[in-house]
Amino acid sequence: MKKLYFTLMSLSLVLGGCSSVFDKQVEWEVVEPQEYPVLSAIGYAPIKGQRGDTDSTKMLMAIKASKLDAYRELTEQVYGQKVDGSQTLSNFLLSDERLSSSVQGVIRGARVIKSYPVGEDLYATELELDFKRVYDIYLSTARPKRVKDVHYY
């Protein structure tokens, strides 16, 4: 019985080792999400505080700054916000406290919905990020796939 078992095990190892000799064709298919979220963000910037010689220049700078602020807000929603903090004790008394935050990421496919003045000294820009559009951009560059079928020859 042991001899038969040993023979069968040896045969299965030999045949299993030969399976890598066969050629195979792998068929791939793209995996698409069932639904896509749409994110929105609003950025603000003061007009009078901008650098520039004329009111027109200051307004253009505020438009750009409000757009960047809206992109920052979208980046926070997509990637999150990193918060760092530290405290210093001296003789068991809090002597220094520091808190900082940062955002980092790449936003592709966002579009400006509206850009408009708010009151006398503020400019606002509304952005929208449709993840269906982001997914289409991703497909055109990354070509994600999963195994659909494997054919052995």
* Per-residue model confidence (pLDDT) at position 11: 55
* Phi/psi at 52 (5° precision): 155, 155
Residue 15 lies in a domain: no
Residue 146 lies in a domain: yes
Note whether 103 and 79 are within 8 A (CB): yes
Total tally of structural domains belonging to the chain: 1
Residue 79 lies in a domain: yes
Domain extent for 144: 23-152
Residue 17 lies in a domain: no
Report the mean per-residue pLDDT for the chain.
85
Distance CA 61, CA 50 (A): 6
Residue 12 lies in a domain: no
The gap from C-alpha 15 to its chain's centroid, in whole angstroms, comes to: 46
Residue 6 lies in a domain: no
Residue 4 lies in a domain: no
Q: Summarize pLDDT for 30-40 with one digit per residue, the tens.
A: 777 889 999 99
Give every CB contact of residue 13 below 8 A, 6+ residues apart in sequence.
none
Residue 5 lies in a domain: no
Q: Summarize pLDDT for 54-105 with one digit per residue, the tens.
A: 999 999 999 999 999 999 999 999 999 999 999 998 888 888 899 999 999 9
